[in-house]
Structure 1
């Protein structure tokens, strides 16, 4: 059996995160080691240009089951990629790069934008975001607490 490093922080299968650059103070995220990329719930996705650079405006319902709460976000577009979801469906998604505050750690990462209205979690944290920084305890939740802003 491989020896686990005691240097790494432990995450539960779900954690609170903050996306300060996007004005998202608090959102529940599912830790998904089966997903390569991280995904953020977005609707009303509207690309535009500023000085020749493509930007994206999107809105998010940060709280589950609360469609009356909405945050409008703006970010530069890093890329558009074909992403295959857990059901095998392919979708072309916008990719942004942003900071995620997870516990006391600030992580710069790529995030794809997709409508997750039918999903329980507004955000998935995939393998590239976790990137060998953490040990995952699938029997625990919210081990990192709510990030302070």
Structure 2
């Protein structure tokens, strides 16, 4: 192929590549891998997370979970289910949610088909983006990842998941704060 033909092909390909990039920017979506590093602002913690579009909500590994009262408000006290973190944590209780149990997790007791879990609000950051999200607390110490980000959190992060990738966003940088899509404003703010 002649040099002039190569240059012509390169020039023709450039606008197509630029259009593809613009489409991603227009939709404000970022592609994340199946596993990513996340920062949980309120806990001062960087943690590896599994991104699961099949799960609805986010879950954080916690145990010894106890309800407590602080100045007339309901809080939750717990220990994080991660190595080298045996200290107590306390956060305001946002809600309680019932999660359906998988049959494999029922240990022969098919009468209790759901579990009740406390929900807290946490600011979760993946890559450049951070967003407030509701996270339920449950014992995930038997799982490889202490944090699971489900479809609601992934939606709020304006992300797509490519299961062929892992840790593609790098260390959390938290330079863009996104509003929760359930909030009225739903606007993106640059900090």
TM-score, normalization: structure 1? 0.86
Q: CA deviation at 1:145?
A: 0.8
2:137 is aligned, of 113, 126, 135, to 113
Q: CA deviation at 1:61?
A: 3.5
Distance 2:37 2:103 in 1: 25
Distance 1:135 1:85 in 2: 26
Does the CA-based 8 Å contact 1:61-1:71 persist in structure 2? no
Tell me the residue number matched to 1:40: 60
Q: CA deviation at 1:92?
A: 0.4
Tell me the residue number matched to 1:128: 152
* RMSD, aligned α-carbons: 2.1
Task: Say whether residues 1:81 and 2:97 are aligned partners.
Answer: yes
Number of equivalent positions? 142
Higher helix share: 2
- In structure 2, relative to structure 1, the CA distance for the partners of 1:78 and 1:30 (3 Å cut) is same
Does the CA-based 8 Å contact 2:81-2:139 persist in structure 1? no
Matches within 5 A, 1:22-61: 22-24=43-45, 26-61=46-81
Q: CA deviation at 1:137?
A: 0.7
Distance 2:145 2:31 in 1: 20
Distance 2:35 2:153 in 1: 14
**Structure 2 gaps, min length 5:** 1-19, 105-112, 175-191
Q: CA deviation at 1:91?
A: 1.0
1:21 is aligned, of 15, 33, 42, to 42
- In structure 2, relative to structure 1, the CA distance for the partners of 1:23 and 1:71 (3 Å cut) is farther
Tell me the residue number matched to 2:24: 6
TM-score, normalization: structure 2? 0.68
